[in-house]
Structure 1
């Protein structure tokens, strides 16, 4: 089964290789992601995030889900010395950097909870796979029709933060300016919650974020610095590298 919908501002594709596919499993995934968009989008006036930001809700009144997301936001703000911050001066509360990976991981757990053992869930280029091995390409940051690495993943997640789709949209919370020093940074981890948040938090730190991400437990990293230099951790699961890389110390 293969299904694609546009949710939360990006395409989400779901491929399930199990036969038969449990009835309603795909519907549950896309219904959940639409619910997340309604509840957590800072661009929707009636969302829980917007209401909290306007002071209509207190931190004690938010849902358990939003409390979990905000706790992750605070964890990474502290861990990066403020480089990753969802409350930048002059801007409203925007936890999207955490919400995307967290919500797609939850969607993947809906599938495994339904007994599905082999699937690939791709949300705007961030991917969760079950079973395997699956081959996943990492887009070249300068050449849109090329890949710079091909991964071989089993029961894992991969996320990339970069400037090639949305420009300098990731800001360094310490300065309020666009993060510099990196063209792209890819993280492989057991969950997309971890992979996506670490990738964004590392990118916000600039080039120094590569070593920071490499030191996070359970994370493997592939980074392309400005100028084209490539760094990766020893365990980064490449099936066929397309770019020479310096291996970071374990």
Structure 2
């Protein structure tokens, strides 16, 4: 199976290399991701996130899924000393930096529960894969048609935060200003929840985020800092 849909504002690609695929599995995966977009998008006025932000839902009445997302958000806020924050002054609640990786990881769980052994799920450039090896290229932060490293993943996830697609969109929650200390930072981790949020949180921390991310259990890092110096952790799974 190979299927691509636009969800949450970016293309999501699902590739399954098993000889047989259970009927309806692709619909279940993309149905879940579309449901997440409806429920958690801060850009939809009727979403649960928007209604909570406006005070139309009491914090004690939110869904278990949103409780989990907000718990993760608070965990990373605390661990970065406020550099990562889904509640920035003057802005509404925006948990997208957590929701993306969390929801795609859940989608991968649907694949595994259905018995799928070899798959690759790519959500706007962030990847979770199983049954490898899979080769994952990391885009050069300044040259769109080049990669700066190719990683080889047997089982796990890769996520990148950078300035090249959306400009200075990641803010340092401690100052409210754009985080500009890095050009790009890629994290390899066991889950896309961890890889994606760690990459965003580390980017918000700036140059200090490289060591912070590399010091997290199970995480490997590839980064290009503001001086265009390449930094990588010792265990980074670079393809031969």
**C-alpha displacement of 1:58:** 1.5
Task: Please state whether the residue corresponding to 1:99 is helix, strand or coil.
Answer: helix
Counterpart residue number, 2:132 = 132
Runs of 4+ in 1 over 3 A off after TM superposition: none
2: CA distance, partners of 1:167 / 1:220:
24
Give structure 1 stretches of 5+ with no counterpart: 241-250
Who is 1:60 aligned against?
60
- Give the aligned partner of residue 173 of structure 1: 173
Q: Deviations over 1:120-153 (max 9, x none)?
A: 0000000000110000100000110000000100
**Is residue 237 of structure 1 aligned with residue 233 of structure 2?**
no
Aligned partner of residue 86 in structure 2, secondary structure: coil
Q: Does residue 108 of structure 2 align to residue 108 of structure 1?
A: yes
Q: Report the secondary structure of 2:102's partner residue.
A: helix
SS in 2 for 1:73: helix
Deviation at 1:227, TM superposition (A): 2.4
Write the mapping of 1:160-239 to structure 2, written as runs, cut at 5 A: 160-239=160-239
Q: Structure 2 unaligned runs (5+)?
A: none
Q: CA separation in 2, counterparts of 1:117 and 1:26?
A: 15
Deviation at 1:19, TM superposition (A): 1.1
* Shift of residue 99, structure 1, vs aligned partner: 0.1
| SS of match in other structure, 2:3 | strand
Alpha-carbon distance between aligned partners in 1 of 2:218 and 2:152, rounded to the nearest angstrom: 16
CA separation in 2, counterparts of 1:29 and 1:235? Answer: 32
The CA RMSD measured in Å over matched residues stands at 0.6
Does residue 48 of the first structure (1) align with residue 45 of the second (2)? no
2:24 — aligned with what? 24
Looking at structure 1, the residues matched to 111 and 155 of structure 2 have their Cα atoms a distance apart, in angstroms, of 13
